A and B are shown apart, each in its own frame.
Chain A
Amino acid sequence: MLVKLIEKVGSKIIKLLESIGRIVIFFWTGVMNIFIAPVQFAKIIDHTWFIGSKSIFVIILTGLFTGMVLGLQGYYSLLQFGSEAALGSAVSLTLIRELGPVFTAIMVTARAGSAMAAEIGVMRISEQIDALKTMHINPVRFLFTPRIIASIISFPLLTALFNVVGIIGGFISGSIMLGLNRYVYMDTVIKSIQMQDISGGFYKSFVFAVVVTTTCCYRGFYTHLYSGFGARGVSLSTTNAVVQSCIFIFIFDYIITFFLV
């Protein structure tokens, strides 16, 4: 009984260590290939278009409504203390420091991260990744490296867009709908934002780009090891990729915030 328990625990630990080793090698190979010529310009542009440009609409939509909700909730909360004039400051700082990077990362995970995991997963089960190997093409360089570069370009830009649209959303609900003086709102926005708030938000979006892309590509790449073969294997690896990415976003958000404050 005890021996079986030890065997089971030992086997789990070995599997965990193997997984850690595999993800470290996967990430390292992908990152190192960024610096190996030739630069894969066409693929980077293609993925930047998919991850970045095609996410613009959803980012505008979520950013606008997040800002509007913040404006609405913030206005009535601040009104209780007679501080509704600080609405612009509350909305902008909440967005730039926290909600902008986190919500952007979650939305891009849902839209592009799931697609990455599914696409690479299908390539795995249909032997396309093996085909790359037989053609002496490094599959990690071919599939992961351009995507991580594209994410590093896209995430901060989408975060900036989310923040700007969110601040506009706060303006719409706070000033246009609830009657807060528009100059007061904009003045508090401008005066309260410091450079370190913006850079802190960008550090987060940079880390989220790396974490989300690595998790999603890794899950797709090793679909056969973790989720099995066939359509069910791909769907399972896609679900796992999205769920794990979201968990990692919150964990890393806390860690970065801890060091920034």
Chain B
Amino acid sequence: MTVPLIQFIDIMKSFGTDHVLKGVNLSIYKGEIIAIIGKSGTGKSVLLKHIIGLVQQDSGQILINGVPLHQLSVEEKISFQKELSYMFQDNALFDFMTIYDNIALPLVENSNFPKNQVKEKVFTRMKQLGLTGTEKKFPAQLSGGMRKRVALARALVTDPKIVLFDEPTTGLDPVRKKDVHSMIQEYQEKFEFTAVIVTHDIPQIFDLVQRIAMLDDGIIKFEGSKEDIFDSHSKILDTFVGGEDV
């Protein structure tokens, strides 16, 4: 049996009296694209932030290749975290930096790449995402959709092995949404990274992902393939996917 790349076991997280995660169990396998769906405010982003270490669980375990995260040595933790990349829901671009500097930042700060190599990598990503010509602009000078693509370019510029997407297509028009989905698929096939996508793009996301997990009321209510969704006859899932109030 394949050992999951990342496994959540009974993850609980509260903020004050607000119990966001009430025992999440979820497995993420190497090389797959998995979508986490659920109503707004159910803790999907919080769950994602546990992987990258921005949020610590109150109880439960996170296993990396079968080893509890807290048992990894400092070097192993750093090495794992360097394989990760995160795309924020609100982009989290640096307002005082140009688009070029925003995308180049992880390379400039963490690697010894020569300047021309950094430039080449950044311009390649910019071209792939239709951002050519914006390199000297600042985030505030771009539209919401373009800022989203800049955030995507920054997330992919380091060629990560695991990419965590927090609502990557929010605010994009249908054409751009499709472009972003295609790009994630293309890159995933090319670089074979593992992608975890928190999204509300239903049913479009079904064409992109191999598996879907539904978070509701602090726990994973469904985990399976697209076909499993239609076979599940789960009322909560059906009503959510159908766009009705659960």
Chain A interface (Cβ within 8 Å of chain B)? Answer: 119, 122-123, 126-128, 130-131, 133-137, 142
Interface check B53, CB cutoff 8 A? yes
Are B90 and A126 in touch, CB under 8 angstroms?
yes
Identify which of B103-111, B122-130, B177-185 touches chain A. Answer: B103-111
Additional 15 contacts, C-beta under 8 A, given A123-B94, A128-B92, A134-B86: A119-B96, A122-B95, A126-B90, A131-B94, A133-B52, A133-B54, A134-B85, A135-B105, A135-B109, A135-B110, A135-B154, A136-B81, A136-B106, A136-B109, A142-B109
Which range contains the number of B residues in contact with the other chain? 20 to 34
A sample of 24 cross-chain residue pairs with beta-carbon separation below 8 angstroms, ordered by A number, consists of A122-B95, A123-B94, A127-B88, A127-B90, A128-B92, A128-B93, A128-B94, A130-B49, A130-B54, A131-B88, A133-B52, A133-B54, A134-B52, A134-B54, A135-B105, A135-B106, A135-B110, A135-B154, A136-B78, A136-B81, A136-B109, A136-B110, A137-B106, A137-B109
Closest residue of chain A to B166 (Cβ to Cβ) is A127
Q: How far, in Å, is B156 (CB) from chain A's closest CB?
A: 12
Q: List, in ascending order, chain B residues with CB within 8 A of A119's CB.
A: 96
B interface secondary structure, majority: mixed
Q: Mark B140-161, 1 if CB is under 8 A from A, else 0.
A: 0000000000000010001000
- Among the listed B54, B82, B90, B94, which residue makes an inter-chain contact with A136, where contact means beta carbons less than 8 Å apart? B82
Nearest-CB residue, chain A, relative to B49: A130
Closest-by-CB residue of A relative to B106 is A135
The A contact surface, by secondary structure, is helix
Pick from A127, A128, A130, A134: contact of B84, CB below 8 A: A134
Bound together, the chains give a CA A131 to CA B151 distance in angstroms of 10
* Residues of the B chain whose Cβ atoms lie less than 8 Å from the Cβ of A122: 95
CB distance from B166 to the nearest CB of A (A): 10
Near A by CB (< 8 A), chain B positions 1-56 give 49, 52-54
Cα–Cα, bound, A104→B25 (Å): 57
The interface residues of chain A lying within 8 Å CB-to-CB of B92 are 126-128, 130-131
CB distance from A235 to the nearest CB of B (A): 17
Query: Do the beta carbons of A130 and B82 come within 8 Å of each other?
Result: no
Which chain B residues (50-90) contact chain A, with CB distance < 8 Å? 52-54, 78, 81-82, 84-86, 88, 90
Q: Which of B81, B88, B154 has the most CB of A within 10 A?
A: B88
* Beta-carbon nearest neighbor of B78 in chain A: A136
B86: chain A residues within 8 A (beta carbon): 131, 134
Kindly report which residue of chain B lies nearest to residue A129, judged by CB atoms: B92
In the complex, which residues of chain A have a beta carbon less than 8 angstroms from the beta carbon of B105?
135, 137
List the A side residues contacting B93 at CB < 8 Å: 128, 131
Residue of B nearest to A142 (CB): B109
By beta carbon, the residue of chain A nearest B86 is A134
Query: How many angstroms from the CA of A134 to the CA of B85 in the assembled complex?
Result: 7
Give CA–CA (A123, B94) in the complex, Å.
8
A137 to B52, CA, bound (A): 13
Which B residues are in CB contact (< 8 Å) with A137? 105-106, 109-110
Q: Which residues of A contact B84 (CB under 8 A)?
A: 134
What CA separation (Å) do A135 and B164 show in the bound complex?
12
Q: Report chain B residues within 8 Å CB of A127.
A: 88, 90, 92
CB atoms of B106 and A133 under 8 A apart: no
Contacts of B96 on A, CB cut-off 8 Å?
119
Q: In the complex, A127 Cα to B92 Cα: how many Å?
A: 5
- Bound CA–CA A133/B86 (angstroms): 10
